[in-house]
Amino acid sequence: MARIEINHVTKQFGSLTALDSVALKLEKGQIVGLLGPNGSGKTTLIKILNGLLQPTAGNVTINGMEPGVGTKRVVAYLPDRNALPDYMTASQLMDIYQDFFEDFDRQKAEAMVDDLGIDRRQAMKKMSKGTKEKLQLCLVMARQAEVYLLDEPIGGVDPATRDYILKTIISNYNEDAVVIISTHLISDVESVLDDVVFLKEGKVVLHQAADEIREEKGESVDKLFREVFKC
């Protein structure tokens, strides 16, 4: 049984087809790049995996379970927006994570927050956009989850922080977990990816190991992405 199974998932919003019979099996112990231009269906797929959207057809399973309380215990999700109560401080948000997630490592979260120079006593609403994103990522990556779903984790931060985030992802993820990173900033994440999924207009156009792409096609994932998604 694969850690994540996506079985011919279709999602329609009115007449718009956001996902068109997407089928994927993702095993543990890898970092997967879910790559595609804006509007290709990356966020939709991640939301379906979290149970925040319901597929029009098909289904998804994580550890053999459909999204629900059971999967939420083992999935760490970084959304593409600030979803945390913004009147709370970093310290209070850590309290919430500690209360609800058994796999949350508070010491690790505090260390990451301190490394990034985030004031633990500052309310989130007083933080800059980038700092909010960093804080959310610290909270998510401080979990010892089995699945990490990171939706545009490096989209709104400066290059130095990008490096820190990618380093954090690599150093925190364990061999028992699968990390899915959704982004269109390929060159920044390419070095950490084991597996690559290209999504184009809601369809999977490529699913291959990153090393195989480089060996077989003789080019980087970034270059291939530019060819596939050329306007």
Which residue ranges make up the site for another protein (CB under 8 A)?
A: 13-14, 47, 50-54, 69-70, 72-73, 75, 77, 79, 81-85, 87, 96, 99-101
Q: Please name which of 147, 207, 151, 153 lies closest in space to residue 177, comparing C-alpha atoms.
A: 147
Residue closer to another protein, measured from CB, 73 or 108: 73
Q: Nearest-CA neighbor of 169 among 196, 188, 184?
A: 188
Whole-number Å distance between alpha carbons of 156 and 127? 13
Q: Which is nearer to another protein, 88 or 192 (CB)?
A: 88
**Nearest in space to 199 (alpha carbons), one of 12, 19, 11, 74:** 19
Please say which residue, 53 or 224, places its beta carbon nearer to another protein.
Answer: 53
**Shortest separation between residue 84's beta carbon and another protein, angstroms:** 6
Output the smallest distance, CB 77 to another protein, in A.
Answer: 5
To another protein, the closest distance from the beta carbon of 178 in angstroms equals 16
Query: Given the complex with another protein, which of 104 and 198 has the nearer CB atom?
Result: 104
Min separation Cβ 179 and another protein, Å: 16
